[in-house]
Structure 1
Amino acid sequence: IEGLVDIVDKPVLIEMWDERFFYFVLKFEFNFVDTLDKASALSTVQIDVENSERYDMSYVDEAGERQRPILLHCSPSGAIERVMYALLEKAARLSEEGKLPMLETWLSPTQVRIIPVAERHQARAQQIASELGLRTDIDDRDETVGKKIRDAGREWIPYVAVIGDEELASGELTVTVRAESTPKSPAKVKMSPADLKARVSAETAGKPWRRLPLSMLLSERPKFI
């Protein structure tokens, strides 16, 4: 037990029983405190001494004798639903603190959304999206800019860049940074496409990355009504 505590290097709660109540003789788990101030288990490892008999599991040892194995329940990363639960709980806590709920940038399905103000800005939007090399999409739908921005907010997109005449002339983007925004005050920052790429790349460095199996253009994606 002391060895486990040294490895984890976090506060621990140890429970010990005089007799065994469960199918395991030892387990450890990682918990977090949710928005209801309740401890919730994320992952666990258990040494199971009971279920090999229940499920008729056995092996033959070196002496030719049939034995019941000790089972190891090993879920160090936790089940996917527990991970999603923790992520949503973290987002709920952000809301309680007056911030906008969001996922980490590396986890966000769309990391950057580009919103062209008019059709004449779409060519530049597609050029920038290709240059970024991130999970970037373009809202080219026949909707108002305001609605496109609101929809991006409902999708918790970390970076939303608007391209209009001013951005075409200056070469910079007007980017709403969700992590720095509040419900009543969006944080808008002027930055070049290269600066935007560098910022997102720094936030996602060392994290898994995959492309979205969807069209870059929102107008070409399935619509659910």
Structure 2
Amino acid sequence: QDRVREINIAAVKVAKEAIAEVKPSARVAGSMGPTGRFLQPLGNMSFDSIYDTFREQAEALIEGGVDFIIIETIIDVQEMRAALLASLDAREAAGKTKDDVQIICQFSFSEDGRTITGTPPAVATTIVEAMGADIIGINCSLGPEQITPLIEEIASVTNLPISCQPNAGMPQLINKQTVFPLSDEEMGPLMLPIVDAGASYVGGCCGTTPAHIQSISDAVKAHTPKERAHIA
């Protein structure tokens, strides 16, 4: 709690050192996940307190030198608003623009196609795009097949780049352990409908391994995506 700046700057440094050895052209994204608390009146956290939490981390990530800030696994549009505003303000205060640091907003949706607080993808997209998000997407909670129609919904209301990081299938409880059923061989081909739906940044979330990511990369590189419709 008292070492947010130190830890985040160190994390960016380690990531940059790692890619320098393997792939110098790779870029670094700094992840900001949910606080685990709801804003008032659903919870006891004020908008300002949530904003301050995200602002501190965003400032550290930008100081460390990230290329992206990825606000991910957010299930409440109000928390996303606080995180996005904090990131935009931190970027501006650092004298940087989206050419220096892009901000990705990724929501998590339930099986009913809404966030846990009831917001559908199209509405969530409209809100964060109006605020200034650079990339909009989805991660966690669902597998590729469940997420595909939600990506289609996002693409129907925005021309911004779309990102997507599904789980390796829907989680199952086996012998008191959470298991994600999709193998790496299965995961890659299942990502292609997501790419055809409009996603241009793809990866994996819970249950995925380096082998899953390699499978996704191989499948996408060999695929010619459908042309995305332009929203007037």
Range class of TM-score, shorter chain: under 0.3
Structure of larger gyration radius? 1
TM-score (normalizing by structure 1): 0.24
Structure 1 or 2: larger helix share? 2
Structure 1 or 2: larger strand share? 1
